[in-house]
Amino acid sequence: MIIYLKNKHTLQVDEFKFKCSIGKRGSTKNKSEGDKKTPIGVFEIGNLYYRHDRINLPATKLKCVKIKKEMGWSDDVNFPKKYNQLIKVNKEVHHEKLHRRDNKYDLLIPIKYNFHRRKIGKGSCIFLHLTKNYNPTLGCIALNKKDFLIMLKIIKKNTKIKIS
């Protein structure tokens, strides 16, 4: 199964078309850290991370991981061994905090961009996550909660996402 980003406002999963938002500066084949662009290509997806204190375990075939307060995702180019991966929050390593006050990361799936053979500075923390207002992201793809929950029922762990 493939999730298709049809354009900067439409994500298609099977016959379902969902409104979405992407990076503030559009999409690119040449992503770099902090460019506010969504990477173009075909990518695997990761596990579902969810805030169990806010959301019941969703219906999905993905492996589900409860988000804990100490979880972060490193975007620090100065720590190559931790770059673009899940870390325990550490004041020395710059990161995206997964346990947030807002609801953006109540449900999130890492898009495995720059994941297996990481290149430092080529972009990190690219997620499918929640939005309430469809404002542009920093490079992620955001859906509203209702649509995200529908998507979770359809996709599987071998699902890929095609961003064009």
Q: Tens digits of per-residue pLDDT, 80-91?
A: 999 999 999 989
pLDDT in the model for residue 52: 97
Query: DSSP letter string over 60-89?
Result: -SS-EEE--TTEEEE--TT-TTTTTSEEE-
Mean pLDDT value across residues 30-52: 98
- What letter does residue 58 receive in the DSSP assignment? P
Q: Is 102 helix (H, G, I), strand (E, B) or coil?
A: coil
pLDDT in the model for residue 140: 98
Q: What domains are defined for the chain?
A: 2-163 (2.40.440.10)
Residue 12: pLDDT band (50, 70, 90) is: very high
